[in-house]
Chain A
Amino acid sequence: MPEFEVPQDADLAELERRLVDRLDLEEGSDSQPERSWYDTFDWRLHHAGLRLVAEPREGRLLLTCLPRPGVPPCGVFHLSVSDVPRFAWDLPASDLRRAIEGAVEMRALLPRAMVQCARKTFVQRNRDQKTIVRLVIDRPAVVGPHGPQALSPRIIVVPLRGYAKAAKRAARFVTRKLGLGKVQADELSRASQALGVRIGGYVSKIDLTLDPAARADQATKQICRRLVETMEANVDGMCLQVDSEFLHDFRVAVRRTRSALSRIRGVFPAPTVRRFAREFRWLGQVTGPARDYDVYLLQLDDLRQLVPEAMRPHLDPLRPWLEKKHVAAYHDLVAATRSPRFDKLLADWRTFLGAPVPKRSSLPNAQRPVLAVARTEIWRAYRRVLRDGKAIGPSSPNSDLHELRKTCKKLRYVLEFFRSLFPAGPMGELIAALKSLQTNLGAIQDLEVQADSIAAMSEPLHRQESAATLMAIGVLVDQLHRRQAAEVAAFGAAFASFAAKGNQKLARKLFQSAKGADRRPA
């Protein structure tokens, strides 16, 4: 649908007069359509090349999913709904749902911009009085916190199927005779710009570009500032339980912060590190139970599939029980994040991160170039993963695998902190190799934790639920243990692939530096 931008200072009435006269248009109707653009908090639809817009029509909402500008065109899907559900999985089965649910997953659909229009529609008819093209003049305004904010008007040529020539003629007239250019950005982009929101602005990944020559203490503060921003961005959504990923992203940022404090050694004073490490550990602990119940509830449908079909209904009592626990866990979480301790932690951390680094520091790594410190820390973590992994054999207890998982996480975090300091290709290769090992180790631990937790649930449930429910829980726990055993058996191959000679050579080349070569000249 060709859309043309009318400059703010253009005489719209004159343009309208010329359009009507030259194209022999008939005035159709005036209307005030409204459009709400939806995406997730982390812009998953945008990143998947999609736009989702809802318009009130005929007493319902017309949802339209379309490709965003600049991506290869794909289908346009419509769906009529009574309201926009919070989650894609609550939409009726349809092409539109299929188009978005893979990208959106468990994230909530949130209104990102609302646009109100004063619209005039004109039609061109043929000799049979059949409409062959519509022209629309829109004067849109984005609804902001301080009222509507005008966007530049647009002229839209609406082609009708089977009458392409008429639409082409009209578009040509608008371009050549009225001298208007096609709109450069779509409505969501323009509305977001007016609201001061950057589309795709939130990412949970650490997307920093560090200066290799920067002081390590300064660069570490930069990394931690990015992490505290992520925590702050997610607090409200987490407390309001908009979706489970606010808490997830918050916790990841807390874990990364703890990791930065412990893995990037000798850059901050020891008492500071001790204090904040203790406080962020507390934050990790008070948010842990709520995350566990989020995960159980998200996975419950998949877990049901693990037991025979006839037994699945007997697992139904698990959901209300989990939901009750979930509510209590979130209650505790909200209380913790509304507490003076939490406020003080973030405020003090912000103050520390905002303060300039001391000109001279007695700390061993503070004044070293970050690239040198990054090499040391990554190489140390990498060697530890290799050493601990090689020590694991078929008879090793699962606790060794859990320890290795933690070590891998630490390596992953330091790799991600300092990713921008190294060539993207080799770094991507190493992270991918680590990722597949982590997937295996994660599955081993998650399955064990799930099995243990579900087994533990049968204790409080046994007084109120039937024997059939307890039996179904037993079967489920058994299935989880079997799956875990399969993952443990696959560990050898997963580790061998990570520790392949090629990867080791690459790691050595990237991170092993000649001793003393990275010291700053005095």
Chain B
Amino acid sequence: MKLLGVYSIKGGVGKTTTAVNLAYSSARQLQRTLLWDLDPQGASTYYFRVKPKVKGGVSRLFGRRRRLERSIKATDFDFLDLLPADASNRYADLILDALKRPRRGLRKSVRELRKDYDVVVLDCPPSISLLSENVIGAASALIVPVIPSTLSLRTLELLDQLCRERVGDGLAILPFFSMVDRRRKLHREIVESLPAERPELLATDIPYASNVEQMGVRRAPLASYAPSSPEAERYAGLWREIRQRVEF
């Protein structure tokens, strides 16, 4: 089983749309896929029209009392299930901190899912927290959306540092450009210059497009309602690239 964390320290960079569309791409390739919405805002959960509710709250996700399987919901798409968000996810750090090994709570929970899923995609909340340290410690790779702006690049460096401290160089960090607006000069410049400095950057970028924004209205993955749109093709391409890099 591959565990992919879609993560960024910065908010509003397209994490949820990425997590939803990548999970959908994975399921389209007949991989049994689970999208775990760890963000208390529950945007992934909303996109799939599922109630943001975990039976027993966040305390049922980690530690001895965990009962993940009871809260998993099928989405409307074959091979794609969702572990919905819950408002109590905001207390995840408190629950994790109370464990004997606070940095390994997520890894243990995910181990239970190995039998049922080939791929688990984590939609992570922004910020640096104990939960994000758990994600870094457990993931096969981190997928990091980066808006081509100075501030985003700075947070990417911060993430590099955080990962090095936590797991050394063992974790594949796979940044890609998200919400690229080619009408903007700064976006164009960064998209052209950064790959030379950061060879790990994925070649596929995701444009800023109204089609993607429509996901909130349609409440479904992009490729399910606009399968031949250029943006859906990009997400499919991004997924292919990730599979090659992570080798599965």
Q: Which of A's residues lie within 8 Å of B, judged by CB?
A: 57-58, 60, 62, 75, 78, 80, 95, 123, 128-131, 160-163
Residues of B near A58 (CB, < 8 A) are: 28-30
Known: A128-B51, A130-B50. A78 touches B73 (CB 8 A): no
Q: How far is the CA of A449 from the CA of B48 in the complex (A)?
A: 65
Residues of B near A162 (CB, < 8 A) are: 71-74
Residues of A near B29 (CB, < 8 A) are: 58, 60, 80
Residues of A near B219 (CB, < 8 A) are: 129
Residues of B near A62 (CB, < 8 A) are: 30
Say whether A78 contacts B72, CB under 8 Å. no
Say whether A160 contacts B74, CB under 8 Å. yes
Residues of B near A160 (CB, < 8 A) are: 73-74
Interface string of B133-151 (1 = CB under 8 A from A): 0000000000000000000
Whole-angstrom distance between the Cβ of A292 and the nearest chain B Cβ: 41
Q: Does B81 contact A (CB under 8 A)?
A: yes
Q: Does B115 contact A (CB under 8 A)?
A: yes
Whole-angstrom distance between the Cβ of B34 and the nearest chain A Cβ: 10
Say whether B49 contacts A80, CB under 8 Å. no
Q: How far is the CA of A239 from the CA of B142 in the complex (A)?
A: 54
Say whether A130 contacts B30, CB under 8 Å. no
Q: How far is the CA of A129 from the CA of B75 in the complex (A)?
A: 11
How many residue pairs link A and B with beta carbons under 8 A? The number is 38
Say whether B49 contacts A129, CB under 8 Å. yes
Q: Which of B's residues lie within 8 Å of A, judged by CB?
A: 28-32, 48-51, 71-74, 76, 79, 81, 115, 219
Residue of A nearest to B114 (CB): A95
Residue of A nearest to B220 (CB): A129
Residue of B nearest to A128 (CB): B49
Q: How far is the CA of A95 from the CA of B72 in the complex (A)?
A: 22
Known: A57-B30, A58-B28, A58-B29. A161 touches B51 (CB 8 A): no
Whole-angstrom distance between the Cβ of B62 and the nearest chain A Cβ: 20
Q: How far is the CA of A162 from the CA of B50 in the complex (A)?
A: 10
Say whether B76 contacts A78, CB under 8 Å. no
A161 partner, pick from B30, B31, B49, B74, beta carbons under 8 A: B74
Residue of A nearest to B69 (CB): A161
Residues of B near A60 (CB, < 8 A) are: 29-30
Residues of A near B48 (CB, < 8 A) are: 130
Residues of A near B72 (CB, < 8 A) are: 161-162
Q: How far is the CA of A218 from the CA of B48 in the complex (A)?
A: 71
Known: A75-B115, A161-B81. A130 touches B76 (CB 8 A): yes
Q: How far is the CA of A511 from the CA of B81 in the complex (A)?
A: 64
Residues of B near A80 (CB, < 8 A) are: 29-31
Q: How far is the CA of A75 from the CA of B49 in the complex (A)?
A: 29
Residues of A near B76 (CB, < 8 A) are: 123, 130-131
Residue of A nearest to B48 (CB): A130
Residues of A near B79 (CB, < 8 A) are: 78
Say whether A78 contacts B32, CB under 8 Å. yes
Q: How far is the CA of A123 from the CA of B74 in the complex (A)?
A: 14
Residues of B near A95 (CB, < 8 A) are: 115
Q: How far is the CA of A58 from the CA of B30 in the complex (A)?
A: 8
